[in-house]
Amino acid sequence: MANILAEVSAYLAKICANRPIHVIIFTALAASITYLSIFDYYLSTTSQFLDTQPLSFYHPSGNSDYSKWVQVKDSSDYASSDHLALVPIKFKKADASELPKNENFITGIDETEKLLLTSFNSAPETLESLTYLTNEEGVQFKIRKSHRIGRYYEYLKTLVVKFESLIKGAEPFDIILVTFAYIAMWFTFGQLFYEMKKLGSNFWLAFGSLLASAFAFLFALAFSTVVLKLNIPLISLTEGLPFLVATIGFKHKVAFTAPVLKALNSGNKKDISIVISDVVRSQAAIPLIKEQMVIVASFLLCSMLASNLSGLINFCILSAVILTVDIFFTFTFYASILSLKAQINKVHQEVTLVQALEEDGFSETAAESIASSSESPASVFHYNSSILSFKVAMIAGFMGLHLFALGTSWLYDDSASVDSVIDTTSVGQSLSKSVAANIPIGKMGTLVTIMPTKVYSKINLFTKVEDLTAAVLEKLSKAITDPLVSKFLFVLAGISVAINIYLLNATKTHLASTSSPSRVASVQKRKHSKSIDLGSRKSITSQDTEVVNSLSSKQASSTIISKPSQNSSNDNFKEAQIVEEASSDDQSSSSELDSQIESIEIRPLDELVDIMKAGKVKECGDEEVVELAATGKLPLYALEKQLGDKTRAVLIRRRAISRLADAPILNSSSLPWKHYDYDRVFGACCENVIGYMPLPVGVAGPLIIDGVPYHIPMATTEGCLVASTMRGCKAINAGGGVQTVLTNDGMTRGPCVTFPTLARTGAAKLWLDSEEGQKTIKSAFNSTSRFARLQHVQTAMAGTLLFIRFKTTTGDAMGMNMISKGVEFSLKYMVNECGFEDMEIISVSGNYCTDKKPAAINWIEGRGKSVVAEARIPKEMVQKVLKSDVDAVVQLNISKNLIGSAMAGSVGGFNAQAANLVTAVYLATGQDPAQNVESSNCITLMNKLPNGDLQISVSMPCIEVGTIGGGTVLEPQGAMLELLGVRGPHPTEPGANARQLAKIVASTVLAAELSLCCALAAGHLVQSHMNLNRKAAPVEEATSSSATPAVAAAPALTSATTESSPAEGLSASDVKRLEEGSKICIRS
């Protein structure tokens, strides 16, 4: 049974998540109809509380006698009598002296109240003529109509009065209990928003949960009152629902949401609807249904036991129905909200990534290709303050409009204010004596009908705004209810829904096409088959493949089955085929391949040139295209454009260059080229591609950085580097890990400009340094990008040359292309708009940046990310893990990294091997390796703490990294960024991923610095000890003819020698430890 429920729930969730707009709109329409039905039901059942029927009193003919006034129910029985209308008039916020006068007014009990006495038949016309009244001082009053803004003040007053009356008639314990229930209910609402915020959504998930529960309540209430015929008064709902909400809460929706978001954010390649369905089937359905059904059974049991309490029975049944409908809505309506929001945000992330890549210099085609195939590990739901404010404002506006337009209330009505007319102190109801005395008695008797109270207020700014708003809404309401307009709006709404559904389906198709491995493979296969399908004329590619396969089968010592990743571009080889790694004699392979190629007939060059001019190069065979390229007829850089197949272009370029450069090695697999996504390379990373260069990638770590463990990828060919870093990580983790501080974040570009005279150059410098100049340039620069934000401009003069150093944040991109675009625009803006028409731009980069060159300005001012990383290593770890001593490593750091670098005149080179680690991490994560020049600027400091522990820090002011653009778009490098948790743009805080990567780089340098310095220090101690042994040899030989441990001779040294030796008192275990330490990773 449980499995059946799980499968049914999963099926419903899949259907609703696959068609979210259909489900949401249908449910909303059904809920609206249900709401109106419930509204009508309760309005009819509570009409006895509203004095909507006017009261009528009759006095027979003759003299006026108060005792003869009687209340009548049917006024038609007195049709021959004089029928008068008595309308109570109230004047708001007006003294008796301010009241206007009228011949038809009589005074009521209160001096501020008047009664309008007029013929019943002419009452509407009389009231219409009295819409405006003016007193003797010229102050105008106007009738205050129902359903206006001011009426809600009366609602509030009436609510307070009724609340007070309820409190007076209730027990203190009941008051405390109900108050506590309402507080608990609002706390539950707040807790829902808090829990959903922890899951990654600040608004929509919580709002969707509330909406789903509200709809469930509406349907359950309608079912209970209409189908089950339960009598559930409003007072029971107002008292019971807070207890139900506070007791049950929304934990089931949070429990359902958490695994769904985890699955969506895990990089799952399945369709969103399938992901939600799988979560329902495997994790959510059975426990949630079981929990809800236990509560439902409890309510039903309670209704059976409370046989004498009809109100409690009805509410328990209602609660059971609400919970049943709510769990159904959780797996249907709420699942559709999750799906819709996930799909919208997925598209939004892709669009944002495309924009960021285009700003970083990528072509539009390359940016779209990369974005469509990238899977961001960032949260599906994220926060945007401006969007959230708009959402809240729209919801508040909708609710306000609803209240304003549908202002009918059970709490307040004008007709109830007849206290000045009716005497309620006696048994029954009768006219008050003061009023009855002013009513004339007709020959056939008099019938008086008391009409609803009319309220007048002074005309002021508020009433004018109210009238204008009401008039606009009234016109709008009439327009909407017009038969033609309403049909047009309905059709328009239907078209809008259809368009949204179409766009959503198109988006889903696009996402599926970019994430399905089989689809990507089939598309590439069709592309290749099209390029080689020449009818009777075969492409050389297929024959080459057979040759290579046959050769590899003979020569390879082993074969590896390889399946390309879904994001990689397929080439001439099928998915899951054998990847051949020839292990011997590439020359023989090349010669056999050449012999196969020579046996194929190639058309004349002139004919091939004509085909090329006709734009049909892709119809030529591979060897024919090679002939065109080798003879210079077809440029090598144009192969991708001409062939429309980037993988085939790489293969042909290899063959052409192997012929041009007489390098048959390119016809072998020595430089690999297969199974690579060249779509990400073309227009983004490299030109004239002939393959890719594999580099071994090692992993160091885990290294705890600011409390979070990281496994750090390193691409290097230097042995012992990863092992050395691993050793440093182990020692650092023992001390609690690395603590980092990012002190600066700003990429720079320093253009060079010149002016005709020195005075003009100086004027430009002074203007740029001024507050006005900084503000103007910042505004111009920031207009060029959604991500780049100019921080400040720094200037320097050299004769008539002016160097301007722009420093700007660039989001998660390294940002050189982004900032260059902003710099070019800012300089043009200076020329065209700022009065510097005589300025000449020498170069957009004047080496004042400074990029990829050692420079003191980078060391002092910083460039990119400036990070300081620090760690504290217990002295025991220095001895046991690093095989060294704290004093020795501190002294080595001073002598080597500080004094030695100073003697060499180094700028930023006060370290042991920062460049090693920076380059290794840069290569592994797709950074620009040439920027290792300035990124490796580092000063390493070490101190011995009072407790004997080692304190080490690195300060790196120029770490230039990004997590989008450049080499990060390549799948292997992107995978390493994902390993670190910083792939792509950060969804809520632009630049956060790049800043975290900079901290990781600095921490890795710290670990390697520690390990190498300790190894060097250990080697120094061993050498000192060996020197000590040689000095003690004569004593050793005189005292013993047998071999004696070296440390045994140490006490025989003179005191002077012992004091001068750094190896004094070394035991045999110390010597062994230092020897091990000096050998570990010393090559690094």
**CATH classification at residue 321:** 1.20.1640
Count of domains forming the chain: 6
30 and 92 assigned to the same domain: no
Marked catalytic residue, from 718, 824, 870, 1064: 718
Give the CB-side neighbour count of residue 1044, counting CA atoms within 13 A.
19
d(CA 686, CA 93): 80
Tell me whether residue 229 is in a domain. Answer: yes
Marked catalytic residue, from 674, 807, 865, 1025: 1025
Residue 873 — φ and ψ, nearest 5°?
Answer: -110, 125
Tell me whether residue 481 is in a domain. Answer: no
What is the percent of the chain where pLDDT is above 90? 29
Model confidence at 915: pLDDT above 60: yes
Q: Give per-residue pLDDT as tens, 756-804.
A: 999 999 999 999 999 999 999 999 999 988 888 999 999 999 999 999 9
Higher pLDDT, 44 or 103: 103
- Residue 313: name the closest of 234, 235, 224, 248 by CA: 224
Respond yes or no: is residue 852 known to be catalytic. yes
Q: Give per-residue pLDDT as tens, 609-639.
A: 888 888 888 888 888 899 999 998 999 989 9
144 and 192 assigned to the same domain: no
Higher pLDDT, 284 or 922: 922
Model confidence at 836: pLDDT above 60: yes
pLDDT band at residue 48 under the 50/70/90 scheme: very low
Tell me whether residue 498 is in a domain. Answer: no
Marked catalytic residue, from 145, 852, 875, 1079: 852
Model confidence at 240: pLDDT above 90: no
184 and 291 assigned to the same domain: yes
What's the pLDDT score for residue 651?
Answer: 92
For all residues of the chain together, what is the average pLDDT?
A: 76
pLDDT band at residue 365 under the 50/70/90 scheme: low
The mean pLDDT value for 379-406 works out to 43
Tell me whether residue 215 is in a domain. Answer: yes
pLDDT band at residue 1069 under the 50/70/90 scheme: low
874 and 832 assigned to the same domain: no
Structure tokens at 318: 């209602």
pLDDT band at residue 1042 under the 50/70/90 scheme: very low
123 and 268 assigned to the same domain: no
% helix, strand, coil for the chain, step of 5: 55, 15, 30
- How does 442-457 read in b/e, with b if 16+ C-beta sit within 10 Å? beebbbbbbbbbbbbb
What's the pLDDT score for residue 1039?
Answer: 37
pLDDT band at residue 574 under the 50/70/90 scheme: very low
Task: Please report, as a single letter, which amino acid is at residue 63.
Answer: N
pLDDT band at residue 518 under the 50/70/90 scheme: very low
Q: Give per-residue pLDDT as tens, 541-552.
A: 333 433 333 333
CATH of the domain at 996: 3.90.770.10
CATH of the domain at 832: 3.30.70.420
Residue 891 — φ and ψ, nearest 5°?
Answer: -65, -40
Model confidence at 965: pLDDT above 80: yes
Model confidence at 569: pLDDT above 50: no
What's the pLDDT score for residue 527?
Answer: 42
609 and 655 assigned to the same domain: yes
Helix axes 914-925, 971-980, angle to 10 degrees: 110
Q: Which of 468, 498, 533 is the last residue of a domain?
A: 468
Residue 531 domain boundaries: 519-667
Model confidence at 59: pLDDT above 50: yes
What is the percent of the chain where pLDDT is above 70? 70
Cβ atoms of 199 and 208 closer than 8 Å: no
> Regarding beta strands 739-749 and 801-809, do their DSSP bridges make them parallel or antiparallel, or are they unpaired?
antiparallel
Tell me whether residue 482 is in a domain. Answer: no
110 and 244 assigned to the same domain: no
182 and 315 assigned to the same domain: yes
Of the spans 38-47, 261-270, 953-962, which averages the highest pLDDT? 953-962
Model confidence at 428: pLDDT above 70: no
d(CA 368, CA 296): 51
Higher pLDDT, 353 or 291: 291
Higher pLDDT, 369 or 280: 280
pLDDT band at residue 157 under the 50/70/90 scheme: low
Q: Which of 363, 383, 403 is the last residue of a domain?
A: 383
What's the pLDDT score for residue 506?
Answer: 62
Cβ atoms of 10 and 285 closer than 8 Å: yes
Q: Give per-residue pLDDT as tens, 859-914.
A: 999 999 999 999 999 999 999 889 899 999 999 999 999 999 999 999 999 999 99
652 and 767 assigned to the same domain: no
862 and 941 assigned to the same domain: yes
Residue 910 — φ and ψ, nearest 5°?
Answer: -90, 60
Marked catalytic residue, from 928, 960, 971, 1070: 928
What's the pLDDT score for residue 225?
Answer: 84
Structure tokens at 423: 């005497």
Tell me whether residue 684 is in a domain. Answer: no
The mean pLDDT value for 1004-1010 works out to 96
382-391, 510-519, 553-562, 1001-1010: least confidently modelled range = 553-562
What's the pLDDT score for residue 534?
Answer: 37
Tell me whether residue 657 is in a domain. Answer: yes
pLDDT band at residue 600 under the 50/70/90 scheme: low
1000 and 1066 assigned to the same domain: no
972 and 878 assigned to the same domain: yes
- How does 521-558 read in b/e, with b if 16+ C-beta sit within 10 Å? beebeebbeebbeeeeeebbbebbbebbeebbeebbee
Model confidence at 1060: pLDDT above 50: no
Respond yes or no: is residue 1025 known to be catalytic. yes
Q: Which of 651, 667, 683 is the last residue of a domain?
A: 667
pLDDT band at residue 537 under the 50/70/90 scheme: very low
What's the pLDDT score for residue 860?
Answer: 94
